[in-house]
A and B are shown apart, each in its own frame.
Chain A
Amino acid sequence: AQSVTQLGSHVSVSEGALVLLRCNYSSSVPPYLFWYVQYPNQGLQLLLKYTSAATLVKGINGFEAEFKKSETSFHLTKPSAHMSDAAEYFCAVSGAFNEKLTFGTGTRLTIIP
């Protein structure tokens, strides 16, 4: 069984500040991990994914995430927030050859001008 916990349903950061969105997972098998972004009134778009290769994963729009097995974490970061980053972000976990994803409850990111 797999699960994901996203700490903080709402996060606010100032424009230009560091963005840190937290995700912790639980998995009985080696996990594959994903971050998705959802802009208002749109579907989900893949930001990045970890599939057991490099533990530091770079994604689109300057985001990256680091897989830390010892901490069962996959936190999402961006060095400098931009107004266009305002959206909802979802962490998700799957196992190899597992056709289903388990999503976290999401974190809404607000950027303060």
Chain B
Amino acid sequence: NAGVTQTPKFRVLKTGQSMTLLCAQDMNHEYMYWYRQDPGMGLRLIHYSVGEGTTAKGEVPDGYNVSRLKKQNFLLGLESAAPSQTSVYFCASSYSRRAGKQFHEQFFGPGTRLTVL
């Protein structure tokens, strides 16, 4: 049971380049999330998904796109990277229907450190 995994761990991009971050979870969770973490700002929600094929905007969605084609995977895309997108990106998942939990404890991946030059 690997939990939540993220690929890659590190990446350096030039302004204008594109890339995709992959998140995978093996806990059969319904919900998945992408956050960015910047010094002094805590975690800010970029996009999230409450089920396969559905996505929604979070607090800071501009410049990012996401897809959830398979329940276990949640992809975060940067079409044209900007220096302001230099950050650490975390994926998280929560909510198992079988567990029937009302409260949404989130499980986090190890993060991807992205630098945009």
Task: Give chain A's interface residues, CB within 8 Å of chain B.
Answer: 9, 32, 34, 36, 41-46, 49, 51, 90, 94, 96-101, 103-106
Contacts and interface: CB of A to CB of B under 8 A. Distances in A.
Interface string B1-33: 000100000000000000000000000000101
A104 B37 CA distance: 12
Interface stretch (B61-69, B70-78, B100-108): B100-108
A106 B40 CA distance: 7
Contact of B110 (A43, A97, A101, A106): A43
Interface of B: 4, 31, 33, 40-45, 48, 50, 58, 90, 92, 94-95, 102-111
Q: A interface, by DSSP: helix, strand, loop or mixed?
A: loop
A99 B42 contact: no
A101 B43 CA distance: 10
A98 B102 CA distance: 8
Given A43-B110, A43-B111, A49-B103, A90 B43 contact: yes
Contacts of B102: 32, 51, 96-97
Given A9-B40, A42-B110, A45-B108, A51 B103 contact: yes
Contact of B103 (A36, A94, A103): A94
A104 B95 CA distance: 21
Nearest to A50: B103
5 closest A-B pairs by CB: A43-B108, A105-B42, A44-B108, A32-B103, A103-B43
B106 A101 contact: yes
Nearest to A102: B45
A3 to B, nearest CB: 11
A51 B95 CA distance: 15
Contact of B105 (A46, A90, A100, A106): A46
